[in-house]
Amino acid sequence: MGSNKNTDSEFQGAGSKLGLEIWCVENLRLVSVPQSSHGKFFSGSAYVVLHTTLLKSGALQHDIHYWLGNDANELDSALASDKTLELDAALGSQSVQYKEVQGQETGKFLSYFKPCIIPVEGVFSSGQVHLKGPAYETRLLTCKGDRVVHVKEVPFSRSSLNHRDVFILDTSSKIFHFSGCNSSIQERAKALEVVQYIKEYKHKGDCEVAAIEDGKFVGDAEVGEFWNFFGGYAPIPKDPPLDQQQAQTLAVKLFWITLQGKFTQSGSGRLKRSMLESNKCYLLDGDIQIFVWMGKATSITERKKSISAAEDFLRAQERPVNTHLAVLKEGSETAIFKSYFDDWPQTVEAKLYEEGRGKVAAMFKKTGYDVEELPDEDDSTHIDCNGTLKVWRVNSGKLSLVPVAEQRKLYSGDCYTVQYVYSANGREERLFYIWLGNKSSLEDRAEAISLTSGVVDSTKGDPVLARIVENKEPSQFFKIFQTLIIFKGGMGSRYKSYIAENGLDDETYDDKKTALFQIQGTNRDNMQAAQVDQVSRSLNSSSCYILKAQGSIFAWLGNLSTTRDHDLVYGMLDLLNPTWQPILVREGSEPDVFWEALGGKTEYPKEKEMKRFIEDPHLFVCTHTEDVGSQSCNLKVKEIFSFTQDDLTTEDVLVLDCFSEIYVWIGHNSLVKSKQQALSIGLAFLKKDVLGECLSMDTPTYVVTEGHEPPFFTRFFEWDASKANMLGNSFERKLAILKGQSQKLEAPLRSSPNAYSKETTPNGFRRPSPTPNSLRRPSPTPNGSRRASPAPNGLTRRQSLDSTPTFSRSEFNAVNTRRFSSPPVHRMIPSASSPDVRSADNKPVSASKELGSNGQNQSDSNLPNYPYDRVKINSPDPVPDIDITKREAYLSEDEFQEKFSMPKRAFYQLPRWKQNKLKMSLYLF
């Protein structure tokens, strides 16, 4: 952050490091709160909280909150509000500010302080000395919320209890968890996390825990002990009905805030973007949330006045205390704010991979390296891509097995089911894809989804199911094929009938027709050829193409293509036509016959194709209702901020939005019991486009079942693979762990590989699966190449050779949905005693063999130590001949802790994408 004479000195350097920075108002000035006191808030004080994250685009994101205790005075509260604007201006006026009121905090704010915050009475003092207090004071707390918990101390009285909430009675020797009979399972489970927190940090882990269920009294001594604290048992009065007035939704209104703090209505109902002028500030009244929008041409004085006026507005309107206030600048509007406008431009700023790396690339060139030497995270392989492949084509309501020799050929007019079996952790795993060609019929698409979902639901091991559309395939799909050719036309009966009925030419590829193929991929184990329109505008200078025409075959190399692209062309030439001698053509030196085959030379794209950064993932909990009449899914979603593995609760269905693909996660105890229903939820999510990302309805959609999460899903979490399957709901699991009874709830371990040694074929019959050797790639050839010599049919992977009959929809009518197994309760307080030791690619490794005591690879732990200033990318005096992909490994333990705010062991346990984000922020990547 740049210096500014008008910026508070306490903000010097603010926002330059990741994580939380907190300040408190003391004697009408800001005082920094030490990290050891983060999460401890005094009800008589006002705070400013800055949360900084590094996005995958390379940009820093700042969220600013000002927290007001219930007993904070007006001067301190006003100063915290003003300092929030001051901090935002110093950070470039691109942050979003949130007003947080004690007891009504936003979920985003509470997610920084898991499992909860418990405000303390009194006022913050930077010079306070912690003295030993009096005897432990018994307290009664209420816990509300199933995702983030609002904890509030209530009077220690029977009258405080009700049937709707969860309560915690904290005594000197025992903590009682009381569940109101009308509270949800999720709320009860989240309250247990608070119990664990209190036990660890208030009782130093030395106290008993008791769970009391509302309405059950017989035969339980702990129940009597609980009620003795309240003078004996007495019935709890019936909960009063919820205030119906709260359910009334007010009309959305937009007000212009004048320089005098007055309000002039500018619009209501559905709003227009043109109503917002850059030289004004506005208040958008969205009923349960109030927004203050500040034009980029407004001054700090105007902005402070508008916030003050908005707070006066809330008081004058006597709005509920849970009404949230968010402050936005022009250009940094949230998706929720934009949703109130009918015509907000639906454009997404291109966050390009090259742009995000621009600064890093420039620094690399100073040290003599090219940016291409940086690891490409997008190209990571998260599963074994040497498994067994089977492909079926949808044809007249049936799935027909595609012959082995044709499995690498897909047609745009058809739909396919792809089964991929691979080895993981000593057992077989299955992954099913539904591939929908761009020119396929709606009937074929519907049947592909229905038939494949039935297969997956009846297959042991709860395989992952993915719906993908041509031209939107994820890279993993291509990697498991290793070589794939996508042709125009189709082989299915519906495609043939459609072109015949409409008098259309059959575009289906054959050797006699002119055909143009665009070549893509990363290496010879992952290359694709896609047939495109044989016209010159299909060309692109960034790519390479193969043209078959008039008895000749041309290999066209674009001027911006790479040597890697050229190697892929040579590999694909051997497959498309191994007998003809190709004619090599470089862009700009094409013979006339080349352009004649394409119908003449015209303009085509000649700019370098830029690769987008993968967006940071977002996790949403989804509730849905089925609209039987329209056969659609009505979806409500709520974002889970700062998500972890613990947020995957067994009663819920969640969607992990990664922008380029989404994952629908089905909890074991959720209401969703079929993969097809889960796919419908995924499509409803894409249609809703919660974040305003302009998501395509063709975005790849995966369905993942609890307890069977694949590595390409778990990579987005700090995944604890040691958590075995458990039975019970969220509350039962967490209570078992808390009381040391986890063994009683454990489900049987997943069977050995032999238990799944029989493969389910789409007609319901069982066939022996390949031997373990069939899941491996051929041994390296004498010249060192891992690629095997092509077989007579051109295939290079081990394929299943059995012939499977076709089958129809009716064969699945008797399939029963079975219960899914699920993972155990997640540890609520991190423990250093049982780390999840992983390698850089997020795979578990043996700490005794591959990792040193600090969590590094043994070979890295022996590296010499150099100062940070000499190993960073922009060092004026760089250390020569170091491994540029692991600059951080050369830091000493002390300097590593100082820079990363964590020891090396903790760093190397993070997923690789998180490691790279941290390294990038420190110019080590």
pLDDT in tens, 109-159: 999 998 999 998 999 988 765 545 556 789 999 999 988 999 999 999 999
pLDDT digits (tens, 9 = 90+) for 629-641: 445 568 889 999 9
Burial class (CB within 10 angstroms; exposed 0-12, middle 13-18, buried 19+) of 86: buried
pLDDT at 628: 45
What is the distance, to the nearest Å, from the Cα of residue 97 to the centroid of all Cα atoms in its chain?
Answer: 23
Check if CATH label 3.40.20.10 holds for domain 253-340: yes
Q: Tokens 């036509």 correspond to what residue? A: 577
Cβ(480)–Cβ(473) under 8 Å?
no
In 3D space, the residue among 222, 198, 224, 203 whose CA is nearest the CA of residue 211 turns out to be 222
Cβ(254)–Cβ(271) under 8 Å?
yes
pLDDT at 604: 94
For residue 773, pLDDT over 60 is answered with no
Q: Which of 316-320, 364-368, 625-629, 768-772 has the highest mean pLDDT?
A: 316-320
pLDDT at 21: 95
For residue 786, pLDDT over 60 is answered with no
Give strand pairing partners of 627. Answer: 632
Q: Tokens 């401890």 correspond to what residue? A: 40
CATH of domain 618-739: 3.40.20.10
pLDDT digits (tens, 9 = 90+) for 235-276: 888 887 765 444 455 678 999 999 888 999 998 888 899 999
Domains 135-231 and 618-739 share a fold: yes
Section 567-587 average pLDDT:
88
Write the CA distances from 725 to 594, 672, 746, 781, 826, integer angstroms: 61, 19, 6, 42, 11
- What is the Cα–Cα distance from 813 to 221, expressed in whole angstroms? 51
Check if CATH label 3.40.20.10 holds for domain 135-231: yes
In 3D space, the residue among 678, 671, 680 whose CA is nearest the CA of residue 632 turns out to be 680
What is the distance, to the nearest Å, from the Cα of residue 176 to the centroid of all Cα atoms in its chain?
Answer: 36
Section 169-183 average pLDDT:
94
pLDDT at 741: 65
What six digits make up the tokens of 568?
């892929």
Which pairs count as long-range contacts for 751-758, CB under 8 Å and 24+ apart, including other chains?
Answer: 751/427, 752/426, 752/427, 753/426, 753/427, 753/428, 755/460, 756/427, 756/428, 756/460, 756/461, 757/428
In 3D space, the residue among 370, 377, 352 whose CA is nearest the CA of residue 884 turns out to be 370
- What is the Cα–Cα distance from 46 to 71, expressed in whole angstroms? 9
Which is more confidently placed, 826 or 560? 560
DSSP string for 179-244: E-TTS-HHHHHHHHHHHHHHHHHHSTT-SEEEEEETT--TT-HHHHHHHHTTTS--PPPPPPPP-G
Cβ(41)–Cβ(47) under 8 Å?
yes
Give strand pairing partners of 30. Answer: 25
What percent of the chain is predicted at pLDDT more than 70? 78
Section 499-504 average pLDDT:
90
Q: Please name the residues in contact with 122: beta carbons below 8 A apart, sequence gap of 6 or more.
A: 42, 43, 44
pLDDT at 906: 85
Mean pLDDT, the chain, integer: 80
This prediction has a pTM of: 0.78
Residue 27, by phi and psi: left (phi above 0), alpha (psi -120 to 50) or beta? left
| CATH architecture entry for 868-922 | Orthogonal Bundle (1.10)
| Helix (H), strand (E) counts: the chain | 22, 35
- What is the Cα–Cα distance from 751 to 549, expressed in whole angstroms? 55
Return the minimum-mean-pLDDT range out of 30-34, 132-136, 221-225, 771-775.
771-775
Section 616-638 average pLDDT:
77
For residue 657, pLDDT over 80 is answered with yes
In 3D space, the residue among 72, 116, 62 whose CA is nearest the CA of residue 327 turns out to be 62
Which is more confidently placed, 454 or 786? 454
Phi first, then psi: what are they for 544, rounded to 5°? -120, 150
Q: Which of 208-212, 302-306, 698-702 has the highest mean pLDDT?
A: 698-702
Section 61-80 average pLDDT:
94
**Banded model confidence at residue 916, pLDDT cuts 50, 70, 90:** confident
- Going from N- to C-terminal start, the domains of the chain cover 135-231, 253-340, 381-458+470-509, 618-739, 868-922
For residue 760, pLDDT over 70 is answered with no
pLDDT at 68: 94
Phi first, then psi: what are they for 764, rounded to 5°? 90, -10
Half-sphere exposure of 815 (CA within 13 A, CB side): 24
**Superfamily of domain 381-458+470-509, CATH level 4:** Severin (3.40.20.10)
In 3D space, the residue among 227, 177, 182, 212 whose CA is nearest the CA of residue 198 turns out to be 177
